[in-house]
Amino acid sequence: MKKVVILCLILALSVICGCSNEPQIPEHYGIYARLDNGSLVELERIDNHYTSKLIFVNNSNEVSMHELFNASLYSYVTEMPSTSLNMKRIKGFIVYGEKQIQKETGIYYFSRGNSIKAKFFDNKGPGNTNEKTFIALGYYCGIPDGMKYKKINEDMYLFQYPVDEKSEYKFCDLSKEKKYGEGTETFPITRACFYAWWYNDTYWAFKTD
């Protein structure tokens, strides 16, 4: 009888102090990091994101008509997230929303605009290639890199993390500072300032410790 009473007291205390090992479940749409203790951290939604064609230039700043015509479109934002994650404690990410998972769904790297030699062309927003603009340059961690996910509830998907990657460059290992680029005059090696999930035409951002 005493053992039963003690067990009940332990369970009651665990609920009161939040010590339960049961993983939390999101209550509203968004993207969440699941920590090793089962708790959730909601990522920052960035509603204002823009697009621009980006032209890489050399020291002469000369741009040909061919380069203008073939310039690729890039996404950028003008704010840095305040949410910070210790990636060694992350056991997964929960994507909760009405839209189905797409092949583009993933974690994108963002770097400062002045870390590369480039110009905006046909810009659709207020940014520029400066320190106050953060550009997604095409590097990301996603399903093609080995990230797996499963449906755990209605409109709710759990993404496996860490990711078992076979490539030499570990796109999904965000526990270390990520440096990337072509190492060329126009696209030197740069570093990621922060990361953001792309889902349902919206970025959900975070920094790393």
Asked, for residue 79, whether it belongs to a domain, the answer is yes
Q: Residue 114 belongs to what domain range?
A: 23-208
Asked, for residue 158, whether it belongs to a domain, the answer is yes
Asked, for residue 3, whether it belongs to a domain, the answer is no
- Average pLDDT over the chain reads 87
For residue 81, which amino acid is it?
P
Instruction: Average the pLDDT over 53-57 and give the result.
Output: 87
- pLDDT of 178 over the 90 cut: yes
Instruction: Average the pLDDT over 153-170 and give the result.
Output: 93
- pLDDT of 60 over the 70 cut: no
How many CB atoms lie under 10 A from the CB of residue 205?
A: 24
- pLDDT of 61 over the 50 cut: yes
Asked, for residue 4, whether it belongs to a domain, the answer is no
With bands split at pLDDT 50, 70 and 90, how would you rate the model's confidence at 21? low
Strands (E) located in the chain: 30-35, 40-42, 44-46, 49-56, 72-77, 84-85, 90-96, 106-112, 118-121, 134-136, 140-142, 149-153, 156-160, 179-180, 190-191, 194-199, 202-208
**Between 16 and 108, residue with greater pLDDT:** 108
Which pLDDT score, from 0 to 100, does residue 7 have?
37
Asked, for residue 16, whether it belongs to a domain, the answer is no
**Between 90 and 118, residue with greater pLDDT:** 90
Instruction: Average the pLDDT over 95-113 and give the result.
Output: 96
Which among 45-59, 115-129, 156-170, 194-208 has the top mean pLDDT? 194-208
Percent of the chain residues topping a pLDDT of 90: 68
Which pLDDT score, from 0 to 100, does residue 8 have?
42
With bands split at pLDDT 50, 70 and 90, how would you rate the model's confidence at 145? very high
Q: Which of 8-22, 35-49, 177-191 bottoms out in mean pLDDT, i.e. has the lowest?
A: 8-22
How many CB atoms lie under 10 A from the CB of residue 194?
A: 21
Instruction: Average the pLDDT over 151-179 and give the result.
Output: 93
Tokens 């889902």 belong to 199
Work out how many domains the chain is built from and give that number: 1
Which pLDDT score, from 0 to 100, does residue 90 have?
97
Asked, for residue 14, whether it belongs to a domain, the answer is no
Instruction: Average the pLDDT over 42-55 and give the result.
Output: 95
Which pLDDT score, from 0 to 100, does residue 12 have?
44
Asked, for residue 157, whether it belongs to a domain, the answer is yes
Asked, for residue 74, whether it belongs to a domain, the answer is yes
